[in-house]
């Protein structure tokens, strides 16, 4: 941007239909997505500032935001005025937000070269949806007011520290250029790669100083998160907490297994009693074996069906018939010999009836193709 250019004011001027349409489309999308609209993001999303340029500005490597914008002063002014008019028409609530660099000094970011206070304030203003609840509004304002994470870069190429002339596996960008972690006073931190969200969250929360580690992806043309740098003591504390969680989860699994085992034992006992009621002469051990087999959790057998769990007489009888067919007749051998299933059932029907008669079959039982 040339020094002679005047900074945009929020005064009225003619607005082209193209700019108005683009600004409103982007603003509507932002409002729908996050419940608020930020002028800086709108101007970026209409295509006037790239993501890499935004990163450079947030890292303090560019003096002002407007230096990055790939459009002239009149169009910037039009866009800002359209955004303000649209926000007021929608009844959005203004909320001023602090913008600071992602460097250690957290110095305020500048938007304009001449520092016009009205324009600077407008850039800092986020427009919030009136539909947000008070609780969500408080969380959003708190989040927007929170300073951005410190950013450390995993470099792809060789580099030299702008302060000491050294190098290293990590760097952070400041106004002077790339800075090693020693010069940035971050070399006491340890690297925790991405992969365990709970561990990362706890380590970052416990660490008095932390930084997000990113690496540039050439294929995607963007920086991607690789992990975080945290204090070693914070990482150890987070690891202990996660190990304790593993112990807690293991104990919970054991308790659940014990509870399910107790429930299964009680269920099998009730089912065995119902089998004995329906078939008074069945050996007790056989009734218990049938109940355990058909009532096994996750087996999909009749005893685990809704009717089986309700101890329905038809379901219980079907379970007993199936047990007799497989254990007291040559049914399985017939199937192995290639005899069709229904034909095999017909061949063993009399043998099944004989066993059921000895056990005093209930009157509801009918031997058919579904039994």
Task: Return the beta strands (E) in 135-285 as ranges.
Answer: 150-153, 172-174, 177-179, 189-193, 211-217, 222-231
Distance CA 58, CA 178 (A): 14
Q: Which value, to the nearest 10 degrees, does the dihedral of the CA atoms of residues 226, 231, 235, 240 take?
A: -170
The partner residues of 191 in beta bridges, in order of sequence, read 229
Yes or no: say if 212 and 245 are a contact pair by the CB < 8 Å rule.
no
Q: What is the pLDDT of residue 251?
A: 65
Q: What is the pLDDT of residue 368?
A: 45
Once rounded to an integer, what is the mean pLDDT over residues 103-132? 86
Write the pLDDT tens digit of every residue in 150-203: 889 999 999 999 988 988 889 988 777 888 888 888 888 899 999 889 989 999
* DSSP β-ladder status, 222-231 and 189-193: antiparallel
Distance CA 254, CA 361 (A): 41
Q: What is the pLDDT of residue 366?
A: 44
Distance CA 181, CA 187 (A): 5
Distance CA 33, CA 84 (A): 19
Q: Is the pTM of this model over 0.75?
A: no
Once rounded to an integer, what is the mean pLDDT over residues 258-281? 80
Hey, where are the domains in the chain? 1-142, 279-358
The partner residues of 110 in beta bridges, in order of sequence, read 64
Write the pLDDT tens digit of every residue in 296-316: 766 566 666 777 778 888 888
């Amino acid at each position: 941007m040339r020094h002679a250019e005047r900074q945009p004011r929020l005064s009225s001027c003619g607005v082209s239909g193209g700019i108005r349409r683009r600004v409103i489309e982007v603003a509507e999308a932002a409002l729908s997505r996050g419940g608020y609209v930020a002028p800086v993001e709108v101007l970026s999303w209409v295509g006037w500032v790239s993501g890499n340029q935004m990163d450079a500005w947030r890292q303090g490597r560019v003096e002002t935001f407007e230096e990055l914008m790939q459009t002239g002063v009149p169009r910037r002014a039009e866009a800002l005025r359209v955004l303000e008019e649209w926000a007021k028409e929608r009844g959005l609530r203004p909320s001023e937000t602090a913008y600071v660099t992602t460097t250690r000094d957290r110095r305020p970011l500048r938007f304009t070269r001449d520092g016009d206070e009205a324009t600077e304030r407008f850039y800092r203003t986020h427009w919030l949806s009136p539909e947000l609840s008070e609780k969500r509004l408080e969380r959003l304002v708190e989040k927007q007011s929170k300073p951005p994470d410190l950013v450390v870069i995993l470099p792809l190429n060789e580099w030299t520290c702008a302060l000491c002339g050294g190098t290293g596996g990590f760097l952070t960008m400041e106004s002077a250029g790339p800075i090693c972690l020693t010069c940035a006073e971050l070399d006491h931190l340890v690297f925790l790669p991405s992969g365990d969200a709970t561990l990362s969250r706890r380590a970052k929360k416990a660490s008095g100083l932390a930084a997000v580690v990113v690496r540039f992806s050439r294929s995607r043309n963007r920086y991607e998160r690789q992990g975080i740098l945290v204090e070693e003591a914070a990482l150890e504390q987070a690891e202990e907490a996660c190990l304790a969680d593993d112990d807690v989860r293991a104990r919970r699994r054991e308790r659940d297994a014990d509870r399910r085992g107790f429930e299964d034992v009680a269920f099998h006992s009730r089912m065995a009693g119902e089998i004995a009621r329906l078939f008074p002469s069945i050996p007790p051990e056989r009734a218990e074996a049938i109940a355990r087999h058909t009532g096994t959790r996750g087996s999909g057998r009749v005893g685990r069906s809704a009717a089986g769990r309700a101890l329905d007489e038809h379901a219980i009888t079907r379970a007993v018939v199936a047990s007799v067919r497989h254990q007291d007749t040559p049914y399985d051998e017939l199937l192995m010999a290639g005899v069709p299933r229904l034909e095999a059932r017909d061949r063993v029907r009399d043998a099944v009836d004989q066993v059921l008669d000895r056990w005093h079959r209930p009157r509801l039982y009918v031997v058919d193709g579904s039994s």
